[in-house]
Amino acid sequence: MEMVIGMTAVAVGLLIGMGALGTAIGFGLLGGKFLEGIARQPEMAPMLTGRMFLIAGLLDAVAMIGVGVALFFTFANPFVAAIQAAG
């Protein structure tokens, strides 16, 4: 039982950490391309700004879904319930 709880804690840490890392890389690339696009065509700044914020919201949603799954594994661990039902 302790092994399952320990491995679940490791998995939760990896879920949140990798989600944050992926989001950070995505935001860095998005911001760089946004500034590059505005530098090339300044007249398209309002359109690019709207699209950037749309993509940023979708990108951030991926990390929040990962946090939700991690919280589910933390507080309502289905693996522990399966071990308790078997034992």
In this prediction the pTM is: 0.76
Per-residue confidence (pLDDT) for residue 4, from 0 to 100: 86
Angle at 41 between CA 30 and CA 33, to 5 degrees: 15
Q: What distance, in Å, lies between the first and last C-alpha atoms of the chain?
A: 10
Per-residue confidence (pLDDT) for residue 31, from 0 to 100: 94
Q: What residue ranges do the domains of the chain occupy? A: 2-77
Confidence at 79, pLDDT banded by 50, 70, 90 = confident
CATH architecture of the domain 2-77 equals Up-down Bundle (1.20)
Per-residue confidence (pLDDT) for residue 62, from 0 to 100: 87
Tens of pLDDT, residue by residue over 39-76, are: 999 999 999 999 999 999 999 998 899 899 999 988 98
The answer to whether 62 touches 22, Cβ cutoff 8 Å, is: yes
- Among candidate residues 41, 60, 64, 72, the one labeled active-site is 60
Tokens in use for 3?
């092994």
Candidates 87, 53, 67; CA nearest to 22 is 67
Residue 80, phi then psi, degrees to nearest 5: -65, -40
Per-residue confidence (pLDDT) for residue 86, from 0 to 100: 85
Among this protein's residues, is 22 annotated catalytic?
no
